[in-house]
Structure formats: structure tokens, C-alpha cells
Copies of this chain bind each other. A is one copy, B any other.
Amino acid sequence: MNSGRSTGRCIALDAMGGADAPAIVVEGAQLARQRHPGLRFLLFGDEVQLRSLVDRQTGLAEAVEVCHAEQVIDDADKPSQALRRGRQSSMRLAIDAVDDGRADAVVSAGNTGALMAMAKVVLRMQEGIVRPAMITFFPTLAGRSAMLDLGANIECDVDNLVQFAIMGAAFARIELGKERPTVGLLNVGSEDLKGNETVKTAGQILRDSDLDFEFHGFVEGDDIGAGTVDVFVTDGFTGNIALKAVEGTSRLYTGFLNQAFRSSLMAGLGYILARPAFNAVRRRVDPREHNGAMFVGLNGVVIKSHGGTDSIGFANAVGVALDMVEGRFKERIQADLRRWAPAAQPEAEAAVS
């Protein structure tokens, strides 16, 4: 999305998070710097390893500051452990850099739960937001859509869902480039009477409020692939399972097709002829092209990269971070938070305490 607007921006990178860290993080930084001239990085991690990796990338040294971190958060660490014992970790120090203003955003491919917990404690909730949420975008038949929450909140109340809608719309405005995004609430049917009380009440509030997006109403699971709306809103339990169900089905199709093409010589030949077409499909669903989930609702931009991505994917996650900084994500939410059915606000505040 972003290009050439990055002069003077600085992104903090947790260089030790993810399966192939720190190599892909440093390579990803180089790629991102080439795409966004003027972009700078704070690289948190093992100083010796990082300096050696940075020196291999032409010109990268002048755009990065390597900041040594003693500790690394492991994927197996519980969020509570990471909070208590990871104060000198690359992840924590990278988040701290956003808090003290040295960086504009943080990107990590590390432990999701730990990143969420640390970011929440260090950066705290944006004013007016009850709960943060995790959002990402993905390919659909209509182009791209976003979904939240993806697991930050296992149980959600009405106010959470309404705020997710507001934050999701802001994300779609910046990342999907939609002036007035459409937003739908995931439900078991599209009629107003379907679903549990939480979903029904949230739907009513969204219908009645004059917010800066189009509330489409209830949407169903098959609307996700169709891309019926720009933003799918749901609780973190359902959202996590639904998005992973989509990912699993993608693997099912890839697996079935691979088996089919190996089933006969003719099929193999057909595959060779159609390879450019297949590659086009592969690019459309390439997870690297949709890398960069965001924790929304915090005082700061926190981007989670897939743990298993490569340098291209990591550079894309850095691009999302930059988009959110340049797009002034936090400020975009404020207007809608004020506009949102004022009667509901006191309840939201009560829910914080």
C-alpha cells in the first residue's frame, strides 16, 4: 500500500521471534527499506548475530540501530511467564521502544499470546476502548476482507463487538483503501432474529448508530470466502476457529489438487501447461501477501507477523505497520467512538472497571 511516505519513520523489530529468526527479520528489514526509502529500524536481539546479519545487507547498517536483548521469548512460554520473566527480551524491549517514543510501531513474528499480553501491559488501552482485538486481512472472491477478533478475547460482550466494528472499519479504511467500508457481524443466519442476545443487541446498536461505515447486518460463515463485507466482526473464539477453518480448507484444496495432478501422465502434462494459471491462483492466496495481523485498541501500532513466514512476508508485515502509522489508525477511531450511540457509552465504561 505504502510507498515513499516513510521518511523519518522508525519501526522496532523483535528480531528473535519466529521460526527463522533472526535471519528473515534482517532480510525482511532490508526488503522493507528498499520499498520504503528513508524507513529506519530498531533491531532488538542478540547483538553479535544481528550485526553480522546486518553487515551482509548492502546499505542496511545505516538504516538500523542494533539494540542488544539478553532474553528471547519462546513459543512455548505462557503470556504470564513472558510478562514476569521477559523484561529484557527482544519482544519486550521492542514494545518498550514504542512506549517511550523511540519507534512508531513494533513488528514481531514471535509468540502471539506473549506479544498481546506485553503490548497490553506496556502500551495500555487506547482511551474509550474496553478490550483490544486481533485483526487480519485475507483473500476473498471479491478481493480482500478483514476479520476480528481472532483470539484476543474468548468471550465478548455487546460493547466489545461494537468497538471491534469501529476498529475494523478503521483498519479497512487504511489497509484495504476503502473510503466507507462495509461491516458485517458473523452470525448463524442473516435475519435480524437469529443468534444469541449479544450478537442481536450489537447488531441493533450498529444499525441505529450513525458511524462512518456501512453496517451490512448479519453475515454467515460462507460470506467470508465470498468477501460479502470488508470487515467481519465476531468474538475471538469464533473468529479464531473460522479463520483457521478457512486456512485448513485452503490446504485441503492444495493437497487434493497436488494428488490429482500426480495421478496420471496426462494430468501432469495439463499441470505443466496450466502452471502460470496455477501460480496466479497461488499468488492470490499466498499467506505472505496477507501477512501482518494487528492488535487494535492499544496506544501504539503492534503488528504480528506469521511465525513461519519468510523475508517477503516479514517485509509485508512491516508495510502494514507503516500503513497504520501513516494512516493514523488511532486517530481514525476517535471520531467513531464519539459518534457511537452515546447512550451505550456509560455501560462501556462500567465494563472497564
Contact = CB atoms under 8 A, between A and B. Distances in A.
A258 to B, nearest CB: 10
Interface string A173-201: 00000000000001110000101100000
Interface in A87-142: 139-141
Contact of A271 (B141, B251, B274): B274
Contacts of A223: 248
Contact of A277 (B245, B261, B275): B261
Contact of A241 (B238, B247, B251, B260): B238
Contact of A224 (B78, B249, B253, B278): B249
A154 interface: yes
A110 B130 CA distance: 43
Interface string A223-240: 111100000001011101
For chain A, the bracket of interface size reads 35 or more
- Grouping DSSP codes into helix (H, G, I), strand (E, B) and loop, the A interface class, with mixed when no group exceeds half, is helix
Interface string A262-302: 01101101111111111011001100000000000000000
Say how many copies of this protein the assembly contains.
2
A193 B225 CA distance: 31
17 contacts: A140-B252, A141-B256, A187-B241, A221-B244, A222-B251, A225-B249, A225-B251, A246-B246, A249-B249, A260-B274, A260-B277, A260-B278, A260-B281, A261-B277, A269-B270, A270-B275, A271-B274
A61 interface: no
B274 A266 contact: yes
Nearest to A234: B241
Contact of A246 (B196, B220, B249, B271): B249
A313 interface: no
Interface string A68-80: 0000000000100
Interface in A139-174: 139-141, 151, 154-155
A269 B273 contact: yes
